[in-house]
Amino acid sequence: MSEMSALISLLVQHNTGNPEKVNHILKVCSLARAIAVEEGLPDSTVLTIEVAAAVCDIADTGEESAQVADMLLLNLGYERKFIERVHGLVLKNANYEDICGIDYQILAEANFLVKAYEKRLDKESIVEVLNTVFKTKCGKQYLCDMYAVSRRGSDR
């Protein structure tokens, strides 16, 4: 079993009886991986993004999610330095200010792509986030295509 398969299995077990949360986690994880790969990032960065996306919403708050993630990742044998980076990303999750690092950027974009749907955001709100938060070419394209919106001042 791969590292990600083992992690996903643990996440599903941790969220027994909560299919909404499991679906949210899997959607964010899939989009984050797709964006990271499309942006041509190294495998190690893709893994960091994918793992952070998988654990970022495992609990009710960022702090709780970070603590649960630490425990799960330690049990799966991830290295301390890797866990610390994931921990930092999880704590910042869903904060669209002061985004630093491509891994955090992609996590924020993937999370918004899913939350915009789940919260039924209007197109005006989606365009505002597109123009202020999204930086990756792939993330922008996914957002424009998924929600049939365009960036201000351009046709896409």
Gyration radius of the chain's alpha carbons: 15
- Number of helices and strands (H, E) in the chain? 8, 0
pLDDT recorded at residue 1: 64
Instruction: Please give the average per-residue pLDDT across 133-151, as a whole number.
Output: 95
- The pLDDT tens digits of the residues spanning 87-111 come to 999 988 767 788 889 999 999 999 9
CATH (residue range 3-122): 1.10.3210.10
Portion of the chain with pLDDT greater than 70, in percent: 96
The answer, yes or no, to whether residue 154 has pLDDT greater than 60, is: no
Residue 89's closest CA among 112, 113, 108? 108
pLDDT recorded at residue 98: 81
- For the chain, give every domain's residue range: 3-122
The answer, yes or no, to whether residue 28 has pLDDT greater than 90, is: yes
Our CA angle for 115, 121, 123, nearest 5°, is: 125
pTM for the whole thing? 0.91
pLDDT recorded at residue 61: 84
The answer, yes or no, to whether residue 120 has pLDDT greater than 50, is: yes
